[in-house]
Amino acid sequence: MQFKFSKWHGCGNDFVLVNGFTEDWQTIRSAAIAICDRNFGIGADGVIFILPSDKCDFCMRIFNSDGSEAEMCGNGIRCFARYVYETGLTNKEEFTVETKAGTIKPRLVIDEKNENSVCVNMGQPVLEGEKIPVHGFDGFAVIAQPLKIQDHQFKMTCVSMGNPHCVIFVNDMSSINISKWGPILEKYKIFPNKTNVEFVQVIDRSHMRMRVWERGAAITLACGTGACASLTAAVLNDLTDRKAAIKLDGGLLSIEWNKDDNNIYMTGPTKKVFEGIYYSG
């Protein structure tokens, strides 16, 4: 098997992008683990396929570094948007993308200062416990709910951005052992589809610091949907205003929960790193 690819990242959250219009994506997807291996493969947090859609301009499918499929990816959709525009698959600066989390609408930011930025309408956050899903919370939102694991007491706020998130606010980010608690929380029994886990330190009403344990990818440098979920959780807990800058390990994202349409808007950078041909077998 061999195929052409392009390597991109958004705030250090990196992806192998494959044009499914010209490549056999069904065969390639089965090799996602090998492709993402940072020693023996290309190295990435996931593999993204650009595909045709019968209801949107494009379809995006994304497979994590452990081979599982994700519903959506905030940093990935920005890379996707830049890819289709810069490769000439579209001349639109705003278009629709079909994902397993629904229709997403990215818009390229075309100006000298933000030539690599993309603003994405991420849709409305889902707050009902059974829809996120979180067992034991049918019919109401999961806001600052106590969660005791081993000898540690957490307070969790859960949000779905098409994929599940468990947001935990901390006073001091350096005091949290993400490598320990991330995998435990990801697979905890109340999350039937597992969950992404965000640890968030609020700096002030318009600034936050976030680190993430991603479902299916472990610790990553950034998570776009996680940043959106974190801003939502902060507003629900009256910790920030409806727009904030979120500092991630790999960079900065601007997130806004628009009051008029209830949608979350994410703006952040993208960067093409290299392209080539992958060989296996």
The span from the CA of 240 to the CA of 231, in Å, is 8
Q: Of the listed 11, 36, 59, 73, which one is catalytic?
A: 73
Q: At a CB cut-off of 8 Å and minimum separation 6, what does 54 contact? A: none
Q: Of the listed 36, 79, 223, 228, which one is catalytic?
A: 223
DSSP class of residue 185 equals H
Which helix (H) or strand (E) segment holds residue 34: the answer is helix 32-36
Three-state secondary structure along 6-18? EEEEECCEEEEEE
The span from the CA of 30 to the CA of 27, in Å, is 6
- Whether residue 223 lies in the annotated active site: yes
Of 142, 130, 116, 52, nearest in space to 90 by CA: 52
The span from the CA of 18 to the CA of 24, in Å, is 9
- Whether residue 158 lies in the annotated active site: no
The residues carrying an active-site annotation are: 73, 223
